[in-house]
A and B are shown apart, each in its own frame.
Chain A
Amino acid sequence: GAVVSQHPSRVICKSGTSVKIECRSLDFQATTMFWYRQFPKQSLMLMATSNEGSKATYEQGVEKDKFLINHASLTLSTLTVTSAHPEDSSFYICSAITTKGGYTFGSGTRLTVV
């Protein structure tokens, strides 16, 4: 139980375009989801917290206009990287708090901006 499906798993996009990443909770309702970014050989850095039906809360230093987060339903949160540039290339991972209070992670999205 408590599965989060994340896709796409890999995406390559051209510089200046936008990319949308989706995370769906399959068997539970995710009131809160978290979005992380991980650069090579570094740890997961929390980007933002999204709560269903309200605006996301961004961590210090994360551009909210560049990383658009939408959590319109209890089972879907999306992260859109707008006007992507090569420095946005990273591994993006979503996480949700389960009904039992634990954390479950999506499988991650490898974004490459060329």
Chain B
Amino acid sequence: QKEVEQNSGPLSVPEGAIASLNCTYSDRGSQSFFWYRQYSGKSPELIMSIYSNGDKEDGRFTAQLNKASQYVSLLIRDSQPSDSATYLCAVNKAVGNKLVFGAGTILRVKS
């Protein structure tokens, strides 16, 4: 079992739609969860961080965390072509403070 699992996609949505990205993790001791966006050839950039169960909203982005189900998601409202990228779910491991990444989901927003 991978430590952090994501559907690789690609996930294609029309411009203006909601994109829903999902992630599961295996380490029940993890306390910090992150969503990063990565464009080809570039370093990841932080979109959202979430630490408590429930929803956290920031602009067009909403992160959802359910620790009981070991599940994290990211919703992108009013998707734009510029949102097209690879979205990486990252989880902080309980031991060592290491950040472990999922394989990433490719999102394509079509105009």
Instruction: Report A's interface with B, CB cutoff 8 A.
Output: 32, 34, 36, 42-46, 49, 57, 91, 93, 95, 97, 101-103, 105-108, 110
Contact = CB atoms under 8 A, between A and B. Distances in A.
Contacts of B103: 42-43
Chain B, interface SS category: loop
Main secondary structure of the interface of A (DSSP, over half): strand
Contacts of A102: 46, 49
B102 A103 contact: no
A44 B42 contact: no
Interface residues of B, number: 20
B41 A46 contact: no
Nearest to B49: A102
B99 A103 contact: yes
B44 interface: yes
Contact of B98 (A43, A46, A101, A108): A46
Contact of A106 (B43, B49, B96, B98): B43
B49 A46 contact: no
A49 B97 CA distance: 9
Contact of B41 (A32, A49, A97, A110): A110
Nearest to A36: B101
A74 B80 CA distance: 40
B103 to A, nearest CB: 5
